[in-house]
Amino acid sequence: MTESEETDSEEITGVIKAIDDLKGIANFFDEFKDDYVKISRELSKMSKEFESMAKVKGEKIKLREILALSMTLLTEVFGAQPHSKILFLLHGVEEMSRDSLTKASGISAAAIRHALADLNSAKLVEYDVEKETAKLLKRIY
């Protein structure tokens, strides 16, 4: 095999690997979309229940308590989702590398990369692609 053929073969292998990664990200996004809808419904139900409880008891439930409960639900019940895990992990630090997030969460690098892009778009996290670091922009609790 000539050097040119070897280089072409390596490029083709790289393209195939990139396509496989993209398929994995697309599959993950499809799964996440369904889970996100379910989570949104559940959080909406919980919020309505708390509002009705507050009216019945005549007490006001502080927003902080609802957010703390929501955060508990996100981390304990729905904690397998990369987005919530990333937000939870970033709450205690100034910034964190993508590799550290991958190791700490136990989630694949591709899923972390995708979730960071989503959180960056939502302006919850600032993700520096060059440095591969993430920084929390908005504290949730």
Q: What is the tens place of the pLDDT at every residue in 83-101?
A: 878 888 898 788 999 999 9
- What percentage of the chain has pLDDT greater than the value 90? 18
Q: Is the pLDDT of residue 32 over 90?
A: no
Angle in degrees, 0-180, between the axes of helices 63-72 and 3-57, rounded to the nearest 10: 140
**Average pLDDT value for the chain:** 78
Confidence band for 28, pLDDT divided at 50, 70 and 90: confident
According to DSSP, residue 124 is labeled: S
Confidence band for 8, pLDDT divided at 50, 70 and 90: low
Going from the N-terminus, what domains does the chain have, and what CATH number goes with each?
A: 3-136 (1.10.10.10)
How high is the pLDDT of residue 134? 95
- What percentage of the chain has pLDDT greater than the value 70? 77
Q: Is the pLDDT of residue 77 over 60?
A: no
Neighbours of 74 (CB within 10 A): 20
Tell me the residue type at 87.
Answer: L
Residue entry with tokens 């136990």: 106
How high is the pLDDT of residue 103? 92
Is the distance from CB of 107 to CB of 82 less than 8 angstroms? Answer: yes
Residue 127 sits at φ, ψ, to 5 deg, of -110, 120
Q: What does the pLDDT average to over 59-71? A: 67
